Structure 1
Amino acid sequence: MENLPKISIVIPFYNCPYIDQAIKSALRQTYLNREVIVVDDGSTQHTTLIKPFLNQIRYIRKENGGTASALNTGIQSSTGELIAWLSSDDVFLREKLAKQVKFMHETNADMVYTNFNLINENSVVFKKDVGLILTSKLDFFKQLQKSCPVNGSTVLIKKDIFSSVGWFDETLKYTQDYDMWIRMGVKYDLKGLNESLLNYRKHDNMGSKRFVEEQWKEIKAVQEKYKGILARLVQQRGRNR
């Protein structure tokens, strides 16, 4: 492949003690045509961990507004044709971006998500290949009716599709990704690459463990919002089988 597209890796950061590991994994990518944008969402802790990388990344500091606002800030200031999102406590495997670009090129996908492994506080992998990779659009829409099958840190997205689907919804604190994949799935081709190219960290401080009740409320609200659209898409795809 000639003229490899530039990728902007957006890392939202808020008081995360693993931020240096995330940045290292972004900088160690075998895919070289990329920029790393760290969006500091008003952090009061662990900011010194970023200092050693300041000459290799773009650092944006903003007032605290949540993950969606940090992602939107990073994407809007990016210069790449493709966007990758990396949560500050997760780690890219070295060939993640290279393999995704190749797969995107081969399948003509607008967004590619991948499988992933689980790691603990000490970065030890304790479970492999835990993602849900759906190969048919019908299965993808059926799953979206029940839960979010895409891990946000695994995605690679064509930047120009945001101009059509809009930005991440900043009123959603925990499910901005779920909401976005539904919006994208309605209009664009989202494909799963069944290879684990991310290490996803499970730890006691993560939002999904600390705010379970609030998260469930948001999940139900997103499902209710898109209930009719998803039901129609499942019906259409089912008829076309």
Structure 2
Amino acid sequence: MNPKVSIIIPFYNCSYVNLAIESALNQTYENIEIVLVDDGSTKFREKIKPYKNDIVYLKKTNGGTATALNHGIQNATGEYIAWLSSDDYFMPDKISNQLSFMLENELDASFTNYDIIDKYNNVIIPWHCKRFSNINEVYMDFLTTNVINGCTVVIKKSVFEEIGLFNEVFKYTHDYEMWFRLLTKGYQIHYLDKVLTKFRTHEESGTSKYHQEMLKEMKIIEIHYQPLLIQYIICNL
């Protein structure tokens, strides 16, 4: 039987959540569990009601995206974990394509390219991620920028059991810290050259509202991890 994939959807007052859920439900890959974590939402919860029989619904007090992701991962029963923000959506063949790539190459983690869309679902920047030809390029580019969009990643759940969950200290850049932690501990995140996720830009997104806070957190993460990543590259690549 094909391994189960748990799609974790953190949700907090997001008007697009129904589109995210539908994209998860419409995956061509069949062995999927959808875990929606309501992070203390006070708005748009009615958009979840039509899907409650088809998803695992978890409710918690508000604590931020990292806490919601961690709660979802801890309660997930899948062998693999995918993260879908409630304002983004997956292409129907996202899980099928990416999991096949991982199983064929015996990978623990992978990421893909993505399109940036507007609030009306129009593609405004196609293929936004740099395209990589090998893992060495991923390591080298990570020294200067975050090359990985969290909603394009699929990771074996056992990896989280080995290195820990998302660091809840970093409210806005927990994903950036996680990718550094994976890479410096020897877990390679391989690139699949396909667009399988639509990443939405809009006025209420965290990227738009908390840009300065993100930059401050990123600086702290880079000061700690960049020397470790350089050392890893020197010793292993």
> If the length of structure 2 is used for normalisation, what is the TM-score?
0.96
Taking the aligned partners of 1:118 and 1:223, their CA distance within structure 2 comes to: 25
Structure 1 match to 2:204: 205
Q: What is the distance in 2 between the residues matched to 1:14 and 1:119?
A: 20
Match of residue 193 from structure 2: 194
Q: CA deviation at 1:189?
A: 2.4
CA distance in 1 between counterparts of 2:139 and 2:224 reads 14
Alpha-carbon deviations, 1:96-117, whole Å to 9, x = none? 0000011001221111100001
Q: What is aligned with 1:109?
A: 107
| Cα separation, 2, equivalents of 1:135 and 1:104 | 16
For the 8 Å contact 2:37–2:72, the answer to whether it is kept is yes
Is the 1:132–1:150 Cα contact (8 Å) retained in structure 2?
no
**Stretch deviating more after TM superposition (133-142 or 25-34):** 133-142
Match runs of 1:87-102 below 5 Å: 87-102=85-100
Aligned counterparts of 2:106 and 2:131: Cα–Cα separation in 1 = 17
Residue 71 of structure 1 is aligned with which of 49, 56, 69? 69
Tell me, in whole angstroms, the C-alpha distance in 1 between the residues paired with 2:131 and 2:27.
23
2:192 maps to 1:231: no
Contact 1:135–1:191, Cα closer than 8 Å, also in 2: no
Aligned length: 236
Inter-partner Cα distance in structure 2 for 1:125 and 1:235: 39
Matching of residues 90-239 of structure 1 within 5 Å: 90-186=88-184, 187-237=186-236
Counterpart CA distance in 2 for 1:64 and 1:146 is: 32
Could you report, residue by residue, the CA deviation over 1:163-204 in whole angstroms, capped at 9, with x for unpaired residues? 111010001011100111111122212101010000110111
Question: In 1, distance between residues paired with 2:108 and 2:187?
Answer: 6
Q: Which residue is equivalent to 1:33? A: 31
- Counterparts of 1:51-70 in structure 2, within 5 Å, are 51-70=49-68
Aligned to 1:8, the other structure's residue is in SS state strand
Q: Residue in 2 aligned with 1:85? A: 83
SS of the equivalent of 1:104 reads helix
**Worse-superposed segment, 147-156 or 19-28:** 147-156
Is the 8 Å Cα contact of residues 141 and 233 (structure 1) preserved in structure 2?
Answer: no
Structure 1 stretch displaced more, 170-179 or 141-150: 141-150
- 1:128-158, CA deviations, whole angstroms, 9 ceiling, x for partnerless residues? 1111233333322222222211100111110
Structure 2 portions without partners, runs of 5+? none
For 1:22, the equivalent position in structure 2 comes to: 20
The residue type equivalent to 1:122 in the other structure is: Y
Residue type matched to 1:104 in 2?
M
CA offsets, 1:211-241, max 9 Å, x none? 111110001110001122012123234xx5x
Give the aligned residue type for 2:118.
Answer: N
Change over 3 Å in CA distance of 1:184–1:219 after alignment to 2: same
> TM-score, normalising length from structure 1?
0.95
Gaps of 5+ in 1: none
Distance, in Å, in 1 between the alignment partners of 2:209 and 2:188 is: 33
- For 1:224, give the aligned amino acid: I
Name 1:11's counterpart in structure 2. 9
Task: Find the aligned partners of 2:114 and 2:53 in 1 and give their Cα distance.
Answer: 30
Equivalent-residue separation in structure 2 for 1:75 and 1:225 (angstroms): 26
